[in-house]
Structure 1
Amino acid sequence: MKEKEMILLVDENDKEMGYGEKHEVHKKGLFHRAFSIFIFNSKNQLLLQKREKNKYHSPGLWTNTCCSHQRQNEELSDAIHRRLKEEMGFDTELKEAFTFSYNFKFHEELSENEFDHVYIGHYEGDIIPNPQEVEDYKWVDLEELKQDIEKNPDKYTYWFKICFPKVASIMEK
């Protein structure tokens, strides 16, 4: 039997408040810590992933390179590297850029209520995505991506559409 994944619950100031089982946290809409990773190449293109079609929420949607949650007895600095390797098959240096909070109800039984830490990194090597997590991936120019999000917002995850403009403005400086 698969062990239940326990994720970190926080308050509105990101103060640790305990842990909850991942699926229960999302069913109850409990406020928890998350992270989103944005990887760029030397052409300043963003590495997007398309979420696997059987994911429990936002399946088949394009989003940032990697995102997940800090687990029980794990430091955030370890979680970001663990998950980048698990999802995309590589690791690289990451720097925290900013944080934001959001609350979104996907449907009657599932929501995200997160304090999200956003990290930016650079990478040029091989990408070996985990097929259980990632259906597809691509490098995209920022201007092309901005236009596509405007024309086709339903192709992208909710949280990505919130934080991408700030990431883009950082990368365009």
Structure 2
Amino acid sequence: MDELIDILDSEGNFTGKTMMKSEAHKKGYFHPTVTIWCYNKKGEVLIQQRAHNKDTHPLLWDASVAGHIGAGEDKLRSAVREVEEEIGLKISEKDLIKIGVFKSVHRHHPTLIDCEFRHTFLCELKTDLENLTKQESEVKALALIPLSKFIEELHENSSSKKYVPHDHGYYETIIKAIEKRL
């Protein structure tokens, strides 16, 4: 779905400009997004398989929830909205633990350059997988996997191509943040 988003400079500062997401991707303009990694006290991580029709990384596994921040939208409100839209889970802003902001550039092809500042959060999952409802247009599948298996699969990812190819340091930061809370 196309939406109006804020445009950032290469340092992550607001420029005062807005643009449709599709146009920002064509021109490679930086914009803010949210990413939420859900985990439970059993040491499991919720991952989602991206829908087959996604422009970027279709059918690869990724964070529990991710999405664009609408123009003028608060990042915490955006994260709460995205969690409810993509996995049907109602949370509040106080359920989110900010991990950091990560700069990311993915050149998928000449007319799709995704330049993001990814506002990344953790959220403790306090319900069972079967209580979640995936947004069919965005999410093909959801899975809870032990953190140890997630780490193992990430190390094998260069050959298996199961996960979205985020920077190794990004994944390490997420893993350490989850381990700290278990």
Between the two proteins, what is the percent identity of the paired residues?
Answer: 25
Pick the aligned partner of 1:131 from 133, 136, 146.
136
Q: Give the secondary-structure state (helix, strand or coil) at the position aligned to 2:77.
A: helix
1:167 maps to what in 2?
174
The letter for the 2-side match of 1:61 is: L
| 8 A contact 1:98–1:119 mirrored in 2 | yes
2:84 maps to what in 1?
85
Aligned-residue offset at 1:98: 1.0
Alpha-carbon distance in 1 for matches of 2:167, 2:150: 12
Pick the aligned partner of 1:100 from 96, 99, 102.
102
Q: TM-score, normalised by structure 2?
A: 0.87
The letter for the 2-side match of 1:77 is: L
Pick the aligned partner of 1:117 from 116, 119, 122.
119
Alpha-carbon distance in 1 for matches of 2:85, 2:52: 17
Alpha-carbon distance in 2 for matches of 1:155, 1:25: 27
Which moved further from structure 2: 161-170 or 126-135?
Answer: 161-170
Alpha-carbon distance in 1 for matches of 2:98, 2:37: 10
Q: Is 2:120 the partner of 1:147?
A: no
Q: TM-score, normalised by structure 1?
A: 0.91
Pick the aligned partner of 1:14 from 6, 12, 15.
12
Alpha-carbon distance in 2 for matches of 1:152, 1:169: 18
Alpha-carbon distance in 1 for matches of 2:168, 2:65: 14
- List runs of 5+ in structure 2 lacking aligned partners: none
| 8 A contact 1:8–1:69 mirrored in 2 | no
Alpha-carbon distance in 2 for matches of 1:25, 1:68: 14
Q: Is 2:167 the partner of 1:156?
A: no
Aligned-residue offset at 1:160: 7.1
The letter for the 2-side match of 1:156 is: Y
Alpha-carbon distance in 2 for matches of 1:142, 1:33: 27
User: Aligned pair count?
Assistant: 171
Alpha-carbon distance in 2 for matches of 1:28, 1:129: 31
- List runs of 5+ in structure 1 lacking aligned partners: none
2:42 maps to what in 1?
43
Aligned-residue offset at 1:158: 2.5
| 8 A contact 1:64–1:160 mirrored in 2 | no
Alpha-carbon distance in 2 for matches of 1:158, 1:35: 17
